[in-house]
Amino acid sequence: MGWRCWQSLCAALLASLMLAWPATAWAAEVLQVREPDLLLIGDHNRTYSVRLACIAPVAGEETAALKLLRAKLPRRQRVNLMPMGSRDGLLLARVRPLGQEQDLNDLLITAGLAQATETCQP
């Protein structure tokens, strides 16, 4: 077998392994729910704060929102982040626990614990 053939074989093997590997292996993990719209997220060897984008907690319902998020996001819960920008040095993102269809923004709005902000309304 020539060198080019080995290169092609290795590239094909690497591509098939990448496609076959479960996507959850690289998901971020929740380390802490800090506020009704602020999470501490870990991604391999990094940690960063993520504010839920497009929502504002309802005044007076912060404790209930915090309790709901802590129930839905136990420590090490894997989540997908859908970045929406940044503000005040924090990543703004929609956050969806793996294996669930509803993201946390919609969950809080449906529960009456948050309102959609004007910046993200259609």
Give me 44's structure tokens: 């391999």
Q: From CA 92, how far away is CA 109, in angstroms rounded?
A: 17
Report which of residues 119 and 15 the model is more confident about.
Answer: 119
Q: Is residue 6 part of a domain?
A: no
pLDDT tens for 29-68 read 999 999 999 999 998 889 989 999 999 999 999 999 999 9
Q: What share of the chain in percent tops pLDDT 90?
A: 61
Number of domains the chain is built from: 1
Q: Is residue 5 part of a domain?
A: no
pLDDT tens for 78-113 read 999 999 998 888 999 999 999 999 999 999 999 999
Q: Is residue 55 part of a domain?
A: yes
Q: Is the per-residue pLDDT at 17 higher than 50?
A: no
Q: Is residue 75 part of a domain?
A: yes
Q: Is residue 8 part of a domain?
A: no
Q: Is residue 109 part of a domain?
A: yes
Task: Answer whether 87's CB lies under 8 Å from 52's CB.
Answer: no
pLDDT value at residue 118: 79
pTM of the model: 0.73
* CATH number of residue 39's parent domain: 2.40.50.90
pLDDT value at residue 3: 61
* Domain boundaries, position 98: 23-120
Q: Is residue 7 part of a domain?
A: no
Q: Is residue 18 part of a domain?
A: no
Helix (H) or strand (E) holding 49: strand 46-52
Q: Which of 36, 51, 110, 57 is nearest to 84 (CA)?
A: 51
